[in-house]
Amino acid sequence: MAMDAKTIENLIHAGIPDADVRIEDLRGDGDHYAAYVVSPSFKGKSRVQQHQMVYNALEGRMGGELHALAIQTSLPKE
C-alpha cells in the first residue's frame, strides 16, 4: 500500500512543526519519495538524530507502508 506526498508532508509537519518540508515523488509510483526537510530544531543534532526525528514523525510507517524515502535534512540558512 503506497502513500501520497501530501500525507507524508503533513506527518512531518505534525512531528516537526517548525519544519519547511518539500516532498518529491521520485518515480510516480507512490512508493519512492525524497523528503527535503529544513528546520531550526535540527541545530546541534547529528545527521542520524535529524533523520530519526523525521522517521519518528512518520510514526512507524517507514519501511512498512512507505518503502523508500530518501531524506535530506538541513538547518535554515542564517
Partner 1 sequence: MSNPALETIQKEIDNNDVVLFMKGEADAPMCGFSSMVVQVLRHTGVEFKDVNVLADNDLRQGIKDFTNWPTIPQLYIKGEFVGGCDIVREMYESGELKGMLEANGVKTA
Assess 14 for contact with partner 1 (CB under 8 A).
no
The only residue of 45, 55, 65, 75 in contact with partner 1, by rule CB under 8 A:
55
What's the grid cell of residue 39?
528546520
Q: Which of the 8 DSSP states describes residue 77?
A: P
Q: Tell me whether residue 2 or residue 68 sits nearer to partner 1 (CB atom).
A: 68
Query: Near partner 1 by CB under 8 A, which window of 9-17, 18-26, 37-45, 64-72?
Result: 64-72
- Cβ 44 to partner 1 shortest distance, Å: 17
Query: Distance of alpha carbon 44 from its chain centroid, rounded?
Result: 18
Task: Supply φ then ψ for residue 57, to 5 degrees.
Answer: -65, -30
Q: Give the residue from 19, 17, 18, 14 showing the smallest Cα distance to 35.
A: 19
Residue choice 17, 40, 63, 76 for contact with partner 1 (CB under 8 A): 63
